[in-house]
Amino acid sequence: MGGKTVLASGGGDLADEPADGSAAEPVAGARLYVVATPIGNLEDITLRALKLLASVDVIAAEDTRNSARLLDRHGIRTRMLSLHEHNEARRAEDILRLLAEGKQVALISDAGTPVLSDPGAILVARVREAGYPVIPIPGPSAAMAALSVAGLTGTAFHFAGFLPERGSARRTAIAVLADEQALLVFYESPHRVQACVEDLAAVLGGEEGGRDIVIARELTKLFESVHRCALADAPAWLAADPNHVRGEFVLLVTGAGARKGASTAELDRVLKPLLAELPLAQSVKLACGITGLRRGEVYERALELAGKQPAKKG
């Protein structure tokens, strides 16, 4: 490498040693960087990523034509080679040869963080097996961007990425997640989002008081939108306007336990002050939104607190 310095993975200073604590490298200085790039707005890239992309020997890009826009915007002239789902295994061998020559390689996807629903996992595994350090350069992620603006409480989430394209396989995959209590995170394309949301509602339950969904579309782009509604209402919302199904999507669906978490005591603490000031129906609606419980459960408890008996079923 002729003494070429590289960016350390931990602190951002320049260093000559591996930054991930790996064992001695087969060739000193050779390494693979996994670099996050913008998901829409080309200015959403870190200073560290720009320095890195300008300094490495080769950039492995999912689509070189697409990535050229980003590199041209920032005046970066580093050589690129393609690495996508159809050539990743073969291209991994090419990159291992580059590393054996002491080269530094950066991996980028079309948008966001590589490997997450994008190519790169095979390459990363092969490079690590060969003993070279693999260093993350964090940055934009569509899933993280959607989670940050969804307004959903809790920290646990299950990232499912893209569901299968075919309807039967998609419904089977959703059914596997039906009992997952964490927030469910999906990616979806414009030509499948309507069918996907319909299947989510059908399999996970679209009844009143059920799960919520956040539909995040075109994040960081000109027509960015974030819409939250009941999962039962989402298919109709998408169908109501052709613009609602344009763009790239992140879908966030509340988990199986999201509507079952509040105890009776917690519900009472919410309901009692509401009932003291507001009509029963309005109190129930607000309490459902606060606690996440189903309307029927909240309504029966509100009747009890109001000194009434729940209607008999029957």
**At 18, which CATH number?**
3.40.1010.10
Under the banding of pLDDT at 50, 70 and 90, the label for residue 294 is confident
- CA distance linking residue 288 with residue 298, whole number of Å: 7
Q: Is residue 27 part of a domain?
A: yes
Q: Is residue 314 part of a domain?
A: no
Under the banding of pLDDT at 50, 70 and 90, the label for residue 293 is confident
- Closest of 21, 46, 23, 24 to residue 35, by C-alpha: 46
- Considering the domain architecture, whether residues 129 and 12 belong to the same structural domain is answered as yes
- Considering the domain architecture, whether residues 95 and 214 belong to the same structural domain is answered as no
- Considering the domain architecture, whether residues 132 and 152 belong to the same structural domain is answered as no
- The alpha carbon torsion through 199, 202, 207, 208 (nearest 10 deg) reads 10
Supply the pLDDT for residue 266. Answer: 74
Of 121, 140, 159, the last residue of a domain is: 140
Of 98, 120, 140, the last residue of a domain is: 140
Under the banding of pLDDT at 50, 70 and 90, the label for residue 263 is low
Q: Is residue 32 part of a domain?
A: yes
- Considering the domain architecture, whether residues 204 and 276 belong to the same structural domain is answered as no
Q: Is residue 188 part of a domain?
A: yes
Q: Is residue 212 part of a domain?
A: yes
Mean pLDDT, range 148-156, rounded to an integer: 87
Which amino acid, 12?
A: G
Mean pLDDT, range 149-172, rounded to an integer: 92
Q: Encoding tokens for residue 148? A: 């940050």
Instruction: Assess contact for 31 and 134: CB atoms under 8 A.
Output: yes
Which amino acid, 279?
A: P
Q: Is residue 289 part of a domain?
A: yes
* 37 pLDDT higher than 60: yes
Supply the pLDDT for residue 262. Answer: 52
Which of 12-21, 265-274, 284-293, 301-310 comes out lowest in average pLDDT? Answer: 12-21
The C-alpha angle with vertex 17 and arms to 13 and 23, in degrees rounded to 5, equals 140
95 vs 311, more confident: 95
- Considering the domain architecture, whether residues 283 and 272 belong to the same structural domain is answered as yes
Of the chain, the end-to-end C-alpha distance in Å amounts to 81
- Considering the domain architecture, whether residues 43 and 56 belong to the same structural domain is answered as yes
Task: State if pTM tops 0.85.
Answer: no
- Structural domain of residue 208, as residue ranges? 143-253
Which of 137-151, 162-176, 287-301 comes out lowest in average pLDDT? Answer: 287-301
Which amino acid, 35?
A: V
Instruction: Assess contact for 130 and 45: CB atoms under 8 A.
Output: no
The total domain count for the chain is 3
Residue 154 DSSP one-character state: -
For 234-256, how does the pLDDT look when each residue is reduced to its tens digit (9 = 90+)? Answer: 999 999 999 999 999 999 999 98
